[in-house]
Amino acid sequence: MSADGDRNRPRLLAMDTGGTMTDTFVVDDEANYTVGKAQTTPDDESVCTTNSFADAVGNWGIEPTDGAGKLEGIVYSGTAMLNRLLEREGSGDIGVITNGGMEDQLRFGRGIQSWADRSYAGRLHAREHEHPEPLVPRENIRGVRGRMNMAGLPTLPLYEDEAYEAIQDLLDRGVRVICVCLVYSYLNDNHEQKIKDIAEEVMEERGESVPIWLSSEQKPIRGELPRLNTLVIEAYAAEPSREQLRQVDDGFAELGSESPVRVLTSSGGTVAPEHDWLVDTMLSGPIGGIFGGEFLAEELDIDNLVCSDVGGTSFDVGLITEGHYPTRWDQSLAQFMVNIPMTAMDTIGSGTGSYVRVDRTSERIEVGPDSAGYKVGYSNMDSDVDTVTVTDCTLALGYLNPDSFLGGDIPMDRDVAIDAIDEQIASPLDEDPIETARGVLDIVERDMSNELRGLILGLGYSPENYTLMSYGGGGPLHAAGYSRGLEFEDILIPQWAAAFSAFGCACADSAYRYDQSVDEILQPDFSNASSVAYSINDTLETLRERAEAAFDRDGVDPDTVEFQPSLRIQYLGMLDDLEVDISEVWDGEAGIDAEGVEDIIDRYEAKFDQVFQRAAKSPENGYQITMAIGVGVGPSAKPTIPQEELQDETPPEDAHKGTRDIYWDDGWHAADLWQMRDIQPGNRIEGPSVIEAPATTILVPPGYEAPLDENRIYHLQEQ
Q: Is there a single domain that holds both residue 71 and residue 153?
A: no
Residue 115 has pLDDT above 80, yes or no: no
Q: Is there a single domain that holds both residue 147 and residue 190?
A: yes
Cα torsion angle, 567, 218, 347, 636, sign: positive
Closest CA to 92 of 236, 277, 222, 262: 236
- Are 429 and 466 spatial neighbours (Cβ–Cβ below 8 Å)? no
Q: Which of 306-310, 527-531, 692-696 has the lowest mean pLDDT?
A: 692-696
Question: What is the enclosing helix (H) or strand (E) of 688?
Answer: none
Name residues whose C-beta falls within 8 Å of residue 653's C-beta, 6 or more positions apart in sequence: none
What is the pLDDT at residue 5? 41
CA–CA distance, 538 with 628 (Å, rounded to integer): 10
What is the pLDDT at residue 521? 94
What is the pLDDT at residue 458? 76
Strand ranges in 159-281 using DSSP code E only, listed in sequence order: 177-180, 212-214, 261-264, 270-271
Give buried/exposed letters for 312-328 (b at 16+ CB in 10 A, else e).
bbbbbbbbbbeebbbbe
What's the pLDDT band for 121 if we cut at 50, 70, 90? low
Domain membership flag for residue 518: yes
The last residue of a domain, from among 603, 634, 665: 634
Q: Which of 169-183, 272-286, 653-667 has the lowest mean pLDDT?
A: 272-286
Question: Residue 281 gets which letter from DSSP?
Answer: G
Give buried/exposed letters for 136-156 (b at 16+ CB in 10 A, else e).
beeebbbbbebbbeeeeeeee
Q: Is there a single domain that holds both residue 427 and residue 534?
A: no
Q: Is there a single domain that holds both residue 188 and residue 246?
A: no
CA–CA distance, 372 with 387 (Å, rounded to integer): 8
What is the pLDDT at residue 118? 62
How many degrees, rounded to 5, is the angle at CA 8 between CA 6 and CA 11?
140
Q: Is there a single domain that holds both residue 618 and residue 667?
A: no
CA–CA distance, 617 with 572 (Å, rounded to integer): 11
Q: Which of 145-159, 421-435, 498-512 has the lowest mean pLDDT?
A: 498-512
The pTM score is 0.80
Q: Which of 189-193, 254-258, 432-436, 605-609 has the lowest mean pLDDT?
A: 605-609
- Are 708 and 496 spatial neighbours (Cβ–Cβ below 8 Å)? no
Residue 440 has pLDDT above 80, yes or no: yes
Region at 568 (left for phi over 0; alpha for psi -120 to 50; beta for the rest): beta
Q: What is the CATH number of the domain that holds 517?
A: 3.30.1490
The last residue of a domain, from among 634, 664, 698: 634
Give buried/exposed letters for 474-502 (b at 16+ CB in 10 A, else e).
bbbbbbbbbbeebebeebbbbbbbbbbbb
Written as one letter, the residue type at 467 is T
Q: Which residues pair with 13 in a beta bridge?
A: 26, 74
- Kindly report the backbone phi and psi dihedral angles of residue 58, in degrees, each rounded to the nearest multiple of 5, phi listed first: -60, -30
Question: Long-range contact list for 360-366, CB < 8 A, 24+ apart?
Answer: 360/428, 363/428, 363/429, 365/425, 365/429, 365/436, 365/439, 365/440, 365/443
What is the pLDDT at residue 3? 42
Q: Is there a single domain that holds both residue 551 and residue 608?
A: yes
CA–CA distance, 563 with 306 (Å, rounded to integer): 29
What's the pLDDT band for 696 if we cut at 50, 70, 90? confident
Neighbours of 308 (CB within 10 A): 26
Closest CA to 139 of 172, 184, 99, 91: 172
- Are 506 and 27 spatial neighbours (Cβ–Cβ below 8 Å)? yes
Domain membership flag for residue 639: no
Q: Is there a single domain that holds both residue 76 and residue 98?
A: no
- Are 114 and 134 spatial neighbours (Cβ–Cβ below 8 Å)? no
> In 3-state terms, what secondary structure has residue 498?
helix
Q: Is there a single domain that holds both residue 369 and residue 398?
A: yes
Written as one letter, the residue type at 650 is T
Residue 561's domain comprises: 510-634
Helix then strand count (H, E) for the chain reads: 18, 35
Closest CA to 144 of 123, 155, 160: 160
Q: Is there a single domain that holds both residue 618 and residue 668?
A: no
Q: Is there a single domain that holds both residue 585 and residue 680?
A: no
Per-residue pLDDT reduced to its tens digit, 186-223: 999 999 999 999 999 999 999 999 999 999 999 899 88
Strand order in the sheet with 667-675: 656-664, 667-675, 689-692, 697-700
Per-residue pLDDT reduced to its tens digit, 216-262: 999 899 888 999 999 999 999 888 888 889 999 999 999 999 988 99
Per-residue pLDDT reduced to its tens digit, 613-631: 666 788 999 999 999 999 9
What's the pLDDT band for 408 if we cut at 50, 70, 90? low
Per-residue pLDDT reduced to its tens digit, 341-359: 887 777 777 778 888 888 8
Closest CA to 367 of 402, 315, 295: 315
Domain membership flag for residue 223: no
Q: Is there a single domain that holds both residue 526 and residue 599?
A: yes
The last residue of a domain, from among 408, 423, 442: 442
- Are 162 and 144 spatial neighbours (Cβ–Cβ below 8 Å)? yes
Would you give the distance in Å from CA 335 to the centre of its chain?
16
Per-residue pLDDT reduced to its tens digit, 141-165: 999 999 999 888 999 999 999 999 9
Kindly list the distances between the CA atom of residue 424 and the CA atoms of 175, 176, 358, 443, in Å, as whole numbers in the listed order.
48, 47, 8, 17
Domain membership flag for residue 389: yes
State mean pLDDT over 365-384. 79
Question: What is the enclosing helix (H) or strand (E) of 586?
Answer: none
Per-residue pLDDT reduced to its tens digit, 511-534: 899 999 998 999 999 999 999 999
Q: Which residues pair with 712 in a beta bridge?
A: none
CA–CA distance, 163 with 298 (Å, rounded to integer): 53
Tell me what percent of the residues of the chain surpass a pLDDT of 70. Answer: 95
Q: What is the CATH number of the domain that holds 18?
A: 3.30.420.40
Name residues whose C-beta falls within 8 Å of residue 235's C-beta, 6 or more positions apart in sequence: 91, 94, 177, 179, 213
Residue 450 has pLDDT above 90, yes or no: no
Q: Is there a single domain that holds both residue 621 and residue 523?
A: yes
CA–CA distance, 366 with 349 (Å, rounded to integer): 12
Q: Which of 118-127, 422-431, 478-487 has the lowest mean pLDDT?
A: 118-127
Tell me what percent of the residues of the chain surpass a pLDDT of 90. Answer: 48
Domain membership flag for residue 143: yes
Residue 390 has pLDDT above 50, yes or no: yes
Q: Domain total for the chain? A: 5
What is the pLDDT at residue 344? 74
Question: Long-range contact list for 450-456, CB < 8 A, 24+ apart?
Answer: 451/315, 451/317, 451/346, 451/348, 452/306, 452/308, 452/317, 452/482, 452/483, 452/486, 453/486, 455/306, 455/317, 455/319, 455/346, 456/306, 456/319
Question: Long-range contact list for 38-43, CB < 8 A, 24+ apart?
Answer: 39/374, 39/406, 39/409, 39/410, 40/373, 40/374, 42/80, 42/83
Per-residue pLDDT reduced to its tens digit, 2-25: 444 456 788 889 888 877 778 888
Domain membership flag for residue 303: no
Domain membership flag for residue 145: yes
Angle at which helices 433-457 and 414-421 pack, to 10 degrees? 80
pLDDT averaged over every residue in the chain: 87
> In 3-state terms, what secondary structure has residue 173?
coil
